[in-house]
Structure 1
Amino acid sequence: MHRRPPRRRPLPRRPRHPLDRAEDHRPRPRPRPLDRPLQDLRGLLLTDPLRPADTFLAAGAPWFLTLFGRDSLWAARMLLPLGTDLDAGTLRTLARRQGRAVDPASEERPGKILHEVRRAEQHLDAGSHLPPSYYGTADATPLWLVLLHDAWRWGLPAGQVEELLPNAEAALDWLERYADADGDGFLEYVDSTGRGLSNQGWKDSSDDIRFRDGRIAEAPFALSEVQAYAHEAAVRTADLLEAFGRPGAAHWRRWARDLRQRFRDRFWTEDADGRYPVVALDRDKRPVDSIASNLGHLLGTGLLDETESALVAGRLTAPGMDSGFGLRTLDAATAGFNPLGYHTGSAWAAASAVLVLQALLGLEADAPNRRLRVRDRLPAGYESLRIDGLTVAGLPIEVETDHTGAVRMRAPEGFGVTTVR
């Protein structure tokens, strides 16, 4: 007598996600540049085991297929024009794990957003090892604040925003109380354990913060882009506090203004080609003078004025940084440049394709005030184009260009549209 094998229970299916819907109605500029990035990103979707309805993007495959503060936040922010569900899931997943104690072994501090989560301790080269929940990151906390603001502007419901405001206030407290260890007015980091990450910005390899002559700088470091994130976080969160009737907005605008002036005084240097901001200040507060893609992270944060932004853009588009296929992470003329190096030459990010499209359109959202902004005309090569699959506050946006590149937007009912050159 043969026994019938037991029926297998089907695996639970992941709820349909905005990235799936974006694939159904994806923006279609020639020649469909979003097809492959959206396909790759769907493969990185994970759910929070503490609340499976909340989804987020893992940092990458295969070694980084887990929750990373910085990477998950950046990816969610880049995908905002496709909807706010991913952003809400990412914000809540990280908020549940926000620091509550002072723990030197894990670099946890009250209000701090973590760096990464693993099932077990992670062993790295040279004897380094990270605990399962590791908080060694200088930038995830201000990036969390910026994403909360941007998600609100793209239509994250006010109730969901308000639920996260206590986490935002705790993150602001970390900026002021813990992030500036030596009291010089800048956010800095150092691996105090000797076993964690020696670099705790987005370039977190041990060899990436170096001078032009190739010498590796010594920590503690105050990274240029971390100051920019902190400035933007303070200004944007002040807007949130004010909009929701909570105290502190005026204080954080002053804090940002003072940081902006300190940065102008200490981070700018000059060479034969003119002025530029350095990558970091080192242990002795000396400017680390290499030219790197870190500069690009300063743009759009409000830290630079119009003239300074133009100087930075000029450096990024010069031959040493512009490879013709994208920006190098380190200028080719810098000693130590390696075109295949992880943080000393190469660059990558699947979610950036949506951000490129948003930049091309000049698309900005202000859902609380029911306004959208878009360019009046696109560059040559984007004529007779139709883009759908974009949303604001869960409502569809469609953009078309005619044979001259002139832009026409179909906005949701009740939204005003401003066109800019």
Structure 2
Amino acid sequence: MLPLLPLTLLLLHSCFPRRGSSLLPQEGLPWKKTEFALRLYHSVAAGENGTNFVISPAGVSLALEILQFGAQGNTSRQLADALGYTVHDPRVRDFMHAVYSTLRNSSQGTKTELACTLFVQVGTPLSPCFVEQVSTWANSSVEPVDLSKSNGTTIQTNKEESEQLTGWGPDSLPWEEGSTASAQLALVSTVTFQSRWQKTFSSMDSQPLPFTSAHGLVFRVPMMHQTAEVNYGQFQDAMGHQVSLLELPYLGRAASLFLVLSRDRDTPLDHIEPQLTARVLHLWTSRLRRTRMDVFLPRFRIQNQFNLKSILRSWGVIDLFDPLKANLKGISGQDGFYVSEAIHKAKMEVSEEGSKASAATALLLLKRSRVPVFKANRPFLFFLRESSTGFVFTIGRVSNPLD
């Protein structure tokens, strides 16, 4: 399992006056984070009919949190409304520091990294308060760079592995040509999760099996298999659709991949997706029961890139992208910053990786008819969640594993 999810924002400088600030207290942050994740998923899904996609709520929210430290007035209120909380609330700060500390302390065999780098045009003054807040938030940092000469292409995370996995190396960041001519700040948020399964799939046990795509076409895809004790449940959503939910834990059980599958082959996944809420997911995941099952899961690899400006604008985050209205005065104490680009790139890969298992035993178990079966041979939803906090790293959909 190897998802990598960066978000990149480009902030340009303009010269217009701004007004004061306001804070919005929020409660129930774990629920708010899940609601944000699902809202982001639904917004993306609306424009990705019947296709594979993956997006990282963690990567998007981290970048917006960093911007909140510098936002004031209406810009601050719009960001708080979009996130469902404000980093200026002490309860939010305490919870998020606990979450980010948990993510840094990855268990053996699991690597988790959540980081944000604010690249600053050399000579641009920054508020000491803002720099201090950024530097203590989720492994974030501030680094000088000459954006005017590099056209943005020399921005890099200084993490060779992250560049290799994202494809956003020193010469390939996704700015439009010439867009950094007046840039003062660029914000790059990266979430990396890498782990082995708690119980591995045997590569010798994988075989081509039919998969019915969202469009009704049938393909033969590489299907992994294992027989294991898993957390499993069958539920009914608000519209009466029958749903299966399976949890596949990673090594150390610090995080799990959850799979949501329609039990009725004739019920499209997009009929179930709108019924998913934070309350529904909490209820379903809390009611899973240990079950010995045959699990069939296709290998898949998904990579997407999205422009988030239209999504955030549809949520009411409008001033942030307007050079006349954006109020990010808290960044430097000066007027004039606004967000020009908001690009999100996500990658998710699922395979058998892990220690070897007995091929003979596994192949024999494939034929056992008395063991319940979870077979992801049609479109399914997945979400990767940290166990102790419910923090959602990624959420996405597989409509065709071969795409």
TM bucket, shorter chain: under 0.3
Determine which structure has greater relative contact order: mean sequence separation of CA pairs < 8 Å that are 6+ residues apart, divided by chain length. Answer: 2
Higher share of residues assigned strand: 2
TM-score, normalised on structure 2? 0.27
Higher share of residues assigned helix: 1
TM-score, normalised on structure 1? 0.26
